[in-house]
Amino acid sequence: MKILVAGGAGYIGSVLIPKLLERGYEVDVIDLFWFGNNLPGKVGIINKDIFHLEENDVKGYDQVIFLAGLSNDPMAEYSPAENFVSNGSAPPYLAYIAKKAGVRRFIYAGSCSVYGYTVNELYDETCPAVSSYPYGISKLQGETAVLQMMDKNFSVIAFRQGTVSGYSPRMRLDLVVNTMFKFALTDGAITVNNPAIWRPVLAIQDAATAYIRAIESNEEISGIFNIASGNYTVGEIGDLVHSGVKKYLDKDVKLNIKHIQDYRNYKVSIEKAKKVLSFHPKHDVETIIEDLVENREKFQDFNNPVYYNIQVFKKISKK
Ligand SMILES: NC(=O)c1ccc[n+]([C@@H]2O[C@H](COP(=O)([O-])OP(=O)(O)OC[C@H]3O[C@@H](n4cnc5c(N)ncnc54)[C@H](O)[C@@H]3O)[C@@H](O)[C@H]2O)c1
């Protein structure tokens, strides 16, 4: 099978793609390489903007995966105009040319951010998706538009992923568990902005498994799937990072608990992904911390701007 991964040089793609190669798939990546290239040599590289692809460029692929766009709130808020183009329009443009070129399946990296601020309810895919901030709105735009194209010859699988964390060869230190781990090591303190807020957390290894399950699922399957390893309050994540660095690194760190209002609060059910895709997460926040501890030598240059999407984006943004 031949797969094209748009945005495959990013944080998730850099863990997923070696696994796809191991399974014998032929993989090409189209990417602007904002954060460098940490992919294995066996991957075909297309250094281009998605908007510069044409129908002919996507001929011959069996599946296309979208992992591109602006991937967090600070980037989206820094340049809302660029955000709505990148996250709202690039996915349907790519799905549109892929479908015309005869690609059989499109997999979209969406986000649980679409749920916005919910109050103490476990959300499944039928619950209202109502967010009021640019990232959440644009991820829903992308999702809605790509799903519109599904039919019996073109499967569309849209993930709503929790906050991904853990080690990737293209590392990010701006994701909740990774950020707390970094501050525990650099400042000897973890700041919890609001301990009551709920977040689904997705271990990066489980994220890669979810894409593999989607790629390998029956072609008749399409739809929206919540994908997470588990639901946690941010307060609990802080406690787990605190006890993890004590357990593995014998380091005592301080916990600063604040009560800052947040506009995102949600916990999600992954029953549909379990039932339909056979997605069974194997990780949790504790194993994410183990993963970070094991790989910590590889991202010791904590101030490298490449680990913080907003720092790179401010330099390259068209704003
Ligand atoms: N990381 C998370 O916690 C998380 C959670 C939910 C959803 N998602 C979604 O998953 C996807 C991947 O996330 P990530 O953390 O790997 O992102 P990332 O920021 O690490 O990587 C994104 C990649 O896309 C490329 N890119 C962006 N716009 C492009 C364009 N127009 N043409 C070609 N390449 C382009 C960038 O160069 C980069 O390599 C994103 O769509 C994000 O919104 C991520």
DSSP output for 235-298: HHHHHHHHHHHHHHH----EEEE-----S-EEEE--HHHHHHH-------HHHHHHHHHHHGGG
Amino acid 211: pLDDT: 99
Amino acid 301: pLDDT: 96
Mutate to test the pocket of ligand 1, among 4, 12, 28 (most ligand atoms within 8 A of CB): 12
Kind of pairing between the strands at 26-31 and 254-257: unpaired
Residue 315, C-beta contacts closer than 8 angstroms, at least 6 positions apart: 305
81: enclosing H helix or E strand:
helix 80-83
Mutate to test the pocket of ligand 1, among 67, 79, 227 (most ligand atoms within 8 A of CB): 67
> How far is Cα of residue 304 from the mean position of the Cα atoms in its chain?
21
Residue 11: CA count within 13 A, CB half-sphere? 25
Amino acid 257: pLDDT: 97
Amino acid 271: pLDDT: 98
Q: Which residue's alpha carbon is at the smallest distance from atom 11 of ligand 1? A: 67
pLDDT tens, 292-303?
A: 999 999 999 999
**For residue 195, how far is its CA from the centre of ligand 1 (angstroms)?**
27
Spell out, as residue ranges, where the chain has pLDDT lower than 70. Answer: 319
Pairwise CA distance, residues 217 & 276, whole Å: 9
Record the tokens describing residue 223, joined without a space: 């739809």
Q: Which atom of ligand 1 is nearest to the CA of 7?
A: 24
**For residue 90, how far is its CA from the centre of ligand 1 (angstroms)?**
12
E strand spans, the chain: 2-6, 26-31, 44-47, 63-66, 105-111, 117-123, 155-161, 163-165, 189-192, 198-203, 223-227, 230-233, 254-257, 265-268
Amino acid 108: pLDDT: 99
CB 309, CB 86: distance < 8 Å: no
Which residues, listed in sequence order, are joined to residue 26 by a DSSP beta bridge? 2
Residue corresponding to tokens 């990780």: 283
pLDDT tens, 114-162?
A: 999 998 899 999 999 999 999 999 999 999 999 999 999 999 999 999 9
Residue 187, C-beta contacts closer than 8 angstroms, at least 6 positions apart: none
**For residue 110, how far is its CA from the centre of ligand 1 (angstroms)?**
10
Cα–Cα separations (whole angstroms), residue 60 to 18, 54, 98, 102: 21, 13, 10, 8
**For residue 70, how far is its CA from the centre of ligand 1 (angstroms)?**
6
Q: Which residue's alpha carbon is at the smallest distance from atom 18 of ligand 1? A: 10
Q: Which atom of ligand 1 is nearest to the CA of 172?
A: 20
Amino acid 152: pLDDT: 96
Q: What SS3 class is residue 300?
A: coil
Amino acid 319: pLDDT: 65
Residues with CB under 6 A from ligand 1: 6-7, 9-13, 30-35, 49-50, 67-69, 71, 86, 90, 109, 111, 161, 163-164, 172, 175, 309
Q: Which atom of ligand 1 is nearest to the CA of 33?
A: 37
Residue type, 240: L
Q: Which residue's alpha carbon is at the smallest distance from atom 21 of ligand 1? A: 10
**For residue 30, how far is its CA from the centre of ligand 1 (angstroms)?**
12
**For residue 257, how far is its CA from the centre of ligand 1 (angstroms)?**
30
Pairwise CA distance, residues 311 & 18, whole Å: 27
Q: Which residue's alpha carbon is at the smallest distance from atom 1 of ligand 1? A: 164
Q: Which residue's alpha carbon is at the smallest distance from atom 9 of ligand 1? A: 109
Residue 30, C-beta contacts closer than 8 angstroms, at least 6 positions apart: 4, 5, 6, 7, 8, 46, 47, 48, 50, 53
pLDDT tens, 192-207?
A: 999 999 999 999 999 9
Amino acid 263: pLDDT: 87
Q: Which atom of ligand 1 is nearest to the CA of 68?
A: 24
CB 169, CB 236: distance < 8 Å: no
Q: Which atom of ligand 1 is nearest to the CA of 202?
A: 3
Closest CA to 112 of 183, 182, 63, 161: 161
